[in-house]
Amino acid sequence: MNLKAGVVSAGSWGTALAALLAGKNYDVNIWAREKDIIRSINEENENKVFLPGIKLPENLKATDDISEAVHSKDLVVIATPAQHLRESLRQIAFLVSPGTYIVLASKGIEKGTLKTMYQVAQEMLPPVLHKNIFVISGPTFARELAQKVPTCAVVAGHSSDDMGSVQSLFNTDYMRIYRSVDVIGVELGGALKNIYAIAVGILEGLELGKNAQAALITRSIAEMSRLVISMGGNPMTISGLSGIGDLVLTCTGDLSRNRQVGIRLGKGEKIDDILKSMIMVAEGVPTTASAYDLSKKSGVEMPIVETLYGLIYENADIDSSIKKLMSRSLKDELETYGGN
């Protein structure tokens, strides 16, 4: 019997993961709200809204019935926008079988609660499912993954007995999967990099050169490491795929929605106008607010996050904000990776 998988959310990332699984001859159902997406996947083997021009496997079937997508499956992947994860979990909490692996592909920090996606899942799912929860992260543009170009990612979880099994479920000849027990480090790396991609985009929009962009990316690693340490994670994780890997991709790649938001901000557009014009979610915008609140709560100094928060949420002046950031007190570089 073929492995049965369900994917919640037919955005670009969810569709790419569903296509990967279906390409391994798994029976895959993907849940979507939009009738036009369901029709195009089922009738034309293409998600014309989020992955136009990419042919999807014929054994990938879309449905608007979330129960059909997740009930009696061996694997359920949840790829909803981070701020919608709680509602998605509420809908499936008692539809998922006890032995089902649940893999969270959403990247972000929940606004208000300041919980990671794994923590939200632990809160919303029955205790019998907790050992089955995993996260997947890394430098993975959905379109490139769907085009089957060489890609690497990492799966993290606390159940070492099942880690290898989950790792194997996603591994292919074009998608190499690593594993990690540092769930908090992997999650924070995947969430925070979206913030810094907006910041790098602003520098690009302002035409401030590559020196500034390289410096910002490097100092972002220090901020990420400090927050990971404060939350009990391993700072070495930030040197891996979900940290530097995802950070570099999202800060430099043309397919990065968050970088594009930053470029437009740097050119003088207003954040509300930018977001209204976008089909897909730029996770870095809400994550900036969550990370700002989390840094204040944990006492971790994150000046880049604080600066971007001011620009997005307090209408701060860009030039003055950059000058303030550049005039901070002088410090030892390496000490700032573990301190402030």
Enumerate the domain spans of the chain: 4-181, 192-337
pLDDT digit string (tens) for 16-25? 999 999 999 9
More confident residue, 338 or 229: 229
**CATH level 3 topology of 4-181:** Rossmann fold (3.40.50)
Are 20 and 144 in contact, with CB atoms under 8 Å apart? no
- Report how far residue 89's alpha carbon sits from residue 85's, in angstroms, rounded to the nearest whole number: 6
pLDDT at 337: 86
**Is pLDDT above 50 for 1?**
no
Q: What is the pLDDT confidence band of residue 257, given thresholds at 50, 70 and 90?
A: very high
**Is pLDDT above 70 for 178?**
yes
The residues carrying an active-site annotation are: 193
**Is pLDDT above 70 for 340?**
no
- Report how far residue 6's alpha carbon sits from residue 139's, in angstroms, rounded to the nearest whole number: 23
User: Per-residue pLDDT averaged across 235-248, rounded?
Assistant: 97
User: Per-residue pLDDT averaged across 258-276, rounded?
Assistant: 96
Name 82's Cβ contacts closer than 8 Å, sequence gap at least 6.
106, 107, 108, 109, 110, 117, 191, 283, 286, 287
Give just the sign of the alpha carbon dihedral 253, 190, 16, 50.
Answer: negative
- Report how far residue 308's alpha carbon sits from residue 200's, in angstroms, rounded to the nearest whole number: 10
**Is pLDDT above 60 for 101?**
yes
**Is pLDDT above 70 for 38?**
yes
- The CATH class for the domain spanning 192-337 reads mainly alpha
Give me the chain's average pLDDT, please: 96
Residue type for position 52: P
- Percent of the chain whose predicted confidence (pLDDT) is above 90: 95
CB burial of residue 296 (10 Å; 0-12, 13-18, 19+): middle
